[in-house]
Every structure is written in structure tokens, then in C-alpha cells.
Chains A and B, each alone.
Chain A
Amino acid sequence: MTALLEVQDMSVTLKLAEGEMTAVQDVSFTVDRGETLGIVGESGSGKSVSSMAIMGLLPRGTRTDATTLRLGDVDLLSASEDEMARMRGNKIAMIFQEPMTSLNPVYTIGRQMTELMQLHKGVSGAQARARAVDLLEKVGITAAESRLSQYPHQLSGGLRQRVMIAMMLMNDPELIIADEPTTALDVTIQAQILNLLKDLQKELNIALIIISHDMGVVARVSDKIAVMYAGQVIETGPVSDVLHAPVHPYTQGLLESIPVPGQIEPGGALGSIPGLVPSLKTRFKGCRFANRCQRVHDNCQQGPVALQEAGSGQAYRCVLTPAQLRDGTPSLSARDAGDGSYGKGINMDASPVLQAIDAGCTFQVKQGMFSAAKPLRAVDNISLDLRKGEVVAVVGESGCGKSTLARMLLGLQEPTAGKIILGGQDIAGLSDMERSRKLQSIFQDPYSSLNPRRTIGEIIRRPLHLHGVGNVAEQRAKVDTIMERVGLPRSFYYNYPNQLSGGQRQRVAIARALILNPEIVVCDEPTSALDVSVQAQILNLLLELRAEMGLTYLLITHDMAVVEHIATRVVVMYLGRVVEVADTHTLFSNPRHPYTKALLKSVLTPEPGAGVPSVDLGTAYPNPINPPSGCTFHPRCEFASDICKAKAPVLESLSTTHQSACHMLEEEMA
């Protein structure tokens, strides 16, 4: 049996100013019709480059070598540029990460779909339109006919990704490559798109390659997976074998660094792979993972390591045998499952350290030069108390107002209603100095939140200088201490941010936030820009620092796995309002609001073959300028009744630690 797509020993070499760089080396895999291959890896692992090589879309000056690179009976390696153009969009289709920017903004959906069929199949416009309508209906888009004349900006992100999928099906491709197809989408939309892809693939008997950094996504939709690291496939095999019995220390480490409930108690130290993903410019002598590996061995640097068979189609790239690798020696540093005491002992009767009282923030939004400004209620009447030692997570999809709430609590955004109280005083009356002594923040993007023109040392020392703490020598000593504490080598003092990796920069941001000994740190998506293996390091660090320094965190995030692991209390927001608040354990074990339930259901833990639970919220996230009447969630709620359309529910106390705003609960309580 020969597979539809066969890739054997493929290498991709990029030409750079400073010489050649091998971005992908000796990658082999096959995918057959009806089969799904998941490629998982961190940034720079070569997973996207591999897919672009198959498409023949790598930039000029890039060289692709392989012993075999074949789709059906076409040799992709020797095919001319013209033959490749005839394959693309026709036999091989590709779906990209960013649905917001991957469609041409100046042409209608209809034109972009029909032109693809007309290009390859030479059909009439009417035939292509008919096919486009069929496919739009197939991907679950209503009023398909009228959608054809719409432009991309008139559609939501989820709809655009559906259009993208429908478009790529126009010519009945044999192979679809989906590169991070759901990474840019909200979690509740992710499930819909993944299920759609899987259903279509089965129905149309297509070969599918899903590329993702997210082990949960890959585990649930793939038949087999390839784990990539530094340009190589480091482990491959049937998905259940690789995930249940990983051989390679990197795969083992990757799986253990993901917080999975049931395997690790909240607040426990996640397993983490030390160090950083190596630059591909490195001249590798032997195993590319050796410098981060706990099982490092004399033979690791004795030349390139070949892929070894581990039985039943599983293969791995390591000098040790599967038996040696599975002997139970920890593949990771310092994993501590925790003792269940996390989050206990917080005095909930103490006076709050930070408090929002009926706080609201309304922006006046003008949609055109002449139209009157309309109010946008980013945050609508929220009350929230933070007590010392708490880790309060605010969760919700993009547009729910969680970042505006964070900015208000930081004193960076003046509330238009209610007030923010920091340590018993109205934050509006505090100076920047008074505020920043108690309250600090860490942001999502460590690439843009550090001043590129200051050295690491200056960045961290700056708050001390501004607050006039100690003399230069004392300041320098403090900087050294905190740098050591957050795991930055002292030699970085004179480096600039661009010389550091994402994880290291986030450590700098943490050091800067903590150098003044603040009471509260607001962390806005602190790990979502980081690679999985680095995310665990940062989460562990945040947890240790909290315990040592008695910090209180406000965590803004969309990642429910992170929330379950480090939050002590969770606030669920929807369209500027709080729909549910509870301690973490209660919220995850007994969610009451339909929206919370949907959010939790959409979390994808890496369970092989478990499929993707369908979360059907029907319509897209509403536009905050025209919020629905009554309970703003009602158009997406399967339980909605007449009262939900008419009246907004209020937060009802279900227990001392659990409140939710839903009419069904009100009836229950009455």
C-alpha cells in the first residue's frame, strides 16, 4: 500500500546573509486519504516550514531536498513551478492561522471562492457560484447565497475560517494542510471549526495534516502524530501510543509540562524542561535536545542520531533504548504534584487589598465621521474584592472587557462609574508613585513591553531609581538579587531585550514588577505568547514568588488550564458583565452558568482520540456596541426563555463563595 502523501528524508535549507541554515532536517512521514497527521512543535521547530515545502511555497533561495516527496503519482520535488501552481489550491489545499487577514479585504467572498475553481477547472461563473453556495452550506453558513456578495470585514473570525475552509474545498483537494487553524479563534469557536474539519475530512475522504503548538488539539483530532523539535521529527507514531507511552524525553517533558487536572494538584510545580529551544543557526553535532535533557548520555554528541523503531509504528530519535527511557527516571526537573493545600489559609474576612465597587467603563465610539458617538459598555457595573494571597483569574473571550477591567484596577483607565479602592484609598486620589509601590503589572507580549533601548539591568533598576530607593550600589545589589531569583544570569545585566528569548524577557518583566516589593501584581495573559515548555517555567516561577513574597495576583487569561492550575478564585465575564464567580474548585466541578459550562467544555486536554466535544453557541460573539437585550448571553444560550430576552439577571449567591447571574438559578432559588 502506498500512501497518498509520502515525505522521506526531507530537508529545507535557507540561505541567510551569514550562511546557510537548515530549518528542517530529515523529516519523514506519510499521510493517506481519510487519515489525519498531527504535527506538534514549539516555535522554530520547523513544522510550518515543512508544510510550506510540501506546497512549494518557500521563498526563493530556499532549497528543499528529499529522497521522496510525492503526492499521488506527482513528484513534488522535480515538478516545475507551473506544475506546482496547478497542484496548489487544486490537489493540495492549505488553511492558515489568521482568518482575519488571510482573505483579501477588497474582494467579495463569492469572488474569492469562484476564482479558485475557475482558475483550475475552467468552469463557468455560474457553475462556480453554485458550487460555492453548496460548500458554504456544507460548512454551516446560513443564507449562503447572500454571503457571496459580502466582504471579509463583514464576517466574524469564526465565519471567516469557515469561508476559508469552504474555499479550499472548491476543487475537491486530496490533501488539506491546516496550519494552526484555530489558534487565533476563541475557545468556544475552536471546537466548532475542528469538528467541521474532521467531519468534512471523513465525508470527503481527504488526507489532513493539522499543525499546532497545542497538544490538546493535535491529540484529539489526529490518527498519528509527529513531534518536531529544532527542525527534526523527534518522535512519531500512532497518537495513542505516543501520548500514552512517549519514548523521547522531550515528548515526555512536553506532556508533563501541560497542567492536566487529575495529574497535578492546583498550585503544584509543573514539570518543566529547563533551558531554551536552540536557535537553528546552531551547528549541531549530535542530538539537538541534549543540552536540555535530563537523560543526557556520553553518546549524545557522537554524531547525528537516527530515528529508532520502538514498535507498532512508533519511532523516536534518541541514543537510549525505549526500555531505558521508560525506566521511570524523571525526564523533567522538579515536578511536584502538590499536596492539595494550595489556596487554603487565605483570610477571606480580611479587608480587601484591591477592590472594585460598582465599577463601570463606557467608551464613546464613533463609527463614521458623521455618525453620532454610541456608548460601548466595556465594563458594566462590576464589584470585585481581592484579598491578600488570592490569585483571582478573570476569564472570558476577546471583547468581554477583561483587559479594560485590568486597566481600571491598575489605575490606568479611569472608571466612568463606581470606583477602585487600593488599600482602603480611592485609586483616583493616589499619585503614580503611591500606586506603583503597591500595584505592578506583567503583560502578555514580552517583545513590546520592554524598552528596546535600555539594558536589562536598567529596565529592572528603573523603578528603584524613580522611587528613590537606596543609592546606586544598593539598587544594583537589589537588581542582582531579583535577577538571580527569577532565574536570569547576572551576565544579562548589560544585554538588551532583543538579545533575549521570549521566556527570558518575561522573567525580566517579572523582575521589574517585583523589585519594589508590591502587594498586588496584575498579570495580563502572562504566558500566552510563550512556548509550551517555557510556559511551565514561568507559571512555576509565579507560584514560587507568590508563596515567598506573599503576593496577590489578578490574572487575566483565556486559558482555562492555566486558570485551573494557579487561580484560587475565578471571575467569568461576558460582554462587560460578571456571569459567574466561584472558588476555582467549585467553578470547575460545579459550573452553573451556561456560558461557564461552554467555556469549560471547550478546554482540550491532550486525550488521544477523544474527539472534540461540540460546543454549540450558535451565533458569534455579539458586537458590544449593540448588545442583546435582557441577559446578553440569551441569543447563544440553549436554555433561553422569554424572561431572558426581557430582563437582565443579577448575581445570585449560591453559596458563600459562589455567585452566578442566570434566570434559571433565580427560579431554582425562589
Chain B
Amino acid sequence: MLKFILKRLALGLAVAFTVSLATFLMLNLAADPASMVAGEDATQEAIEQIRVQYGFDRPLYVRFFEWIGQLVTGDFGDSYYWKQPVFDLLIDRAPVTLTLAAGALTVTVVLGLTLGVLAALKPNGWLDRFALSFGTAAQAVPNFWFGLILIILLGVTFPIFPVSGDSTWMHFVLPCFVLGTSAVPQVLRLTRTGMIEVLGSDYIRTARAKGFRPRQILFRHALRNALLPIVSVITIQIGYKLGGSVITESVFALNGLGRLAYESILGADIPTVQMLVFFFALVFIILSILGDILNAWLDPRMRVE
């Protein structure tokens, strides 16, 4: 098992390096970084001054390895726009986004798994039809629009939840729900299909022949098998959630990493954008390693010997 985890970690590091290289190249080659930082109306002189001041005049590879060096030592440089260390920005903003992602994930897992299992228990029954209609609707409705509707309905018409800011847990209910439901259809369908397949399998027939009651069969014999493909999808979904936080945070005026990303892109704040992309990638990599470990724990056949 340890060997398995070490192998996954090594692979993860390789991916992290590739991502950082790609990010760096995109941000530095897409346009002249100096003129981006200087702004649209800047004079040629101002641009040249910035080029020297920020070190854009040095060769690309020197700057890349300088950045890698920064990553390794934990110093991520200063933000051009906020004029403070990028690391402080990250520490400051991350809790909001991580709370949002965790809440949204809970919504996805609870709704997706429950509806999926219920739908699978009686295919084509009313619950199944309800779940599938819900899934189709949730997939068809754009996220930001759903957020706005909820704000009008539960924030303005019936003011139950606050609609902007992040001071109490109540502030997170609507954004978590909006972000969470967007991934429900996929998890729901996968759970439903997986569960129907598992419930029709030979080993479930064996469990029935052993005298287990339907509830015992569902929780003791079927669920673990049906979960296997869902784990990896959920890990990917968390990645999408982090990406999706850019929009959701804007709609609900949450001051998290998504907003930070949005603002630093507009402000051509290269060090911050670079760091955020790398941070999201790192979270993604860690999650997929966790997903692999979880799957290996759930399914003995995945454990490489």
C-alpha cells in the first residue's frame, strides 16, 4: 500500500511540474507581460521601465527557474496589484473558498448519492422519474442564473438567507447549494446506473440466497461496489467546484480565491494568477491521489501487488 501511495505521489509531482511550466508559458508568451502590467495607455518608456523593474527583460528560462525556486522555498513573490506577498493573499482568501467547496461537495454527495440510490431501487418507479427529471433540470439550468433566482426568492422575496458576504454560516447556504447542485446530475446518474448494475449482479443474488434482508444487502453488499466509479468522478467534481467558485463567488459577493482569481486576471497580476493556477492544480492532484487511495481501500482488486 505504501509503495502504491509513493508511486501516485511521484506521478503527482510530475503533473505539478508540467502544470507550472504550462501556466508560466501561457502567462508569459500570450502577450508581452510588461505592457500588460503597464496598462493600455502606458507610454513605451513606461513599459520599458516596468520591463526592467519587474525583470521581464531576463531570459524566459531564468525567470521560470526563479519561480520554481520560489515555489520550493514557499516564497511566492509579491502581487503587482495588491502590493503584498501572494502567500498572504492566499492564506487570507483560501478559507472562504475551501468552505464553499466543502459545503458544495456535501450537497453534491448527499443529494447525488441519495437520489441515485433511491432511483435505482425501483427503476422507472415514481422516485426514479422524479430523480431523473431533477437531474435533467439541474443540468440544464445555468449556475449563475440559478444563483440569481435563489437570491431573489430566498434573499429578497422571502428574506431567509443573507445574499452577500461571508461572515456567518448562513451566508454559505445558498452559494453551497447553487454550486453543489450543478454536479448532482452526473453523480446521480452514475450512482443510479452503478447501483442498478450492482443490484442485478450475481453476488447480490448470492447475498439474497444467504438470507440477507433488502436493507442489509443495500448497505452491506451493494453500496461499496456501486461507490467505486463514483469516487473518481467526485474527485474531478471538486476540481470543477474550485473552478466554478469564480462565478459563484462573484454572484454571492464572497471574498474567496475565485474572486481573487477574477480580480488578478483583470489586473494583469501575473504572480497571483500564476500562484492560483498552481494552487488549484495542486489541490486537484492531491484530491485525485486521495481518490485513488480511497478506491484502493474500497476495492481490493485495485491494490497493485
Contact = CB atoms under 8 A, between A and B. Distances in A.
Contacts of B220: 115
A440 B174 CA distance: 65
Interface residues of A, number: 33
Contact of A116 (B208, B210, B298, B301): B210
A103 interface: yes
Contacts of A268: none
A368 B301 CA distance: 11
Contacts of B221: 104
Interface in B169-207: 201-203, 205-207
B209 A93 contact: yes
Contacts of A369: 7, 304
Contact of B209 (A94, A106, A120, A371): A94
Contacts of A370: 7, 304
Interface string B197-239: 0000111011111111100000011001100000000000000
Interface stretch (A81-89, A407-415, A599-607, A662-670): A81-89
A640 interface: no
B225 A119 contact: no
B59 interface: no
Contacts of B74: none
A106 B213 CA distance: 19
Interface in B266-305: 298-301, 304
A652 interface: no
Contacts of B202: 96, 98, 101-102
Given A85-B213, A88-B208, A102 B304 contact: no
A105 B225 CA distance: 8
Contact of A151 (B206, B207, B224, B300): B300
Contact of A89 (B211, B301, B304): B211
B210 A105 contact: no
Nearest to A108: B300
Given A101-B203, A103-B203, A370-B7, A87 B301 contact: no
Interface residues on B, range: 20 to 34
B225 A106 contact: yes
Nearest to A170: B210
Contacts of A82: 213
A115 B219 CA distance: 14
Contacts of B7: 369-370
A89 B209 contact: yes
Contacts of B201: 101
Nearest to B301: A153
Interface string B39-79: 00000000000000000000000000000000000000000
Interface centre among B208, B211, B213 (most CB of A within 10 A): B211
Given A106-B299, A119-B211, 6 more contacts: A89-B209, A93-B209, A96-B209, A101-B203, A119-B212, A120-B211
The 9 closest A-B pairs by CB, nearest first: A89-B210, A89-B211, A88-B211, A101-B202, A151-B300, A94-B209, A104-B203, A368-B304, A102-B202
Interface of A: 55, 57, 82, 85-90, 93-94, 96, 98, 101-106, 108, 115-116, 119-120, 151, 153, 164, 167, 367-371
7 contacts: A88-B211, A89-B210, A94-B209, A101-B203, A102-B202, A116-B210, A167-B210
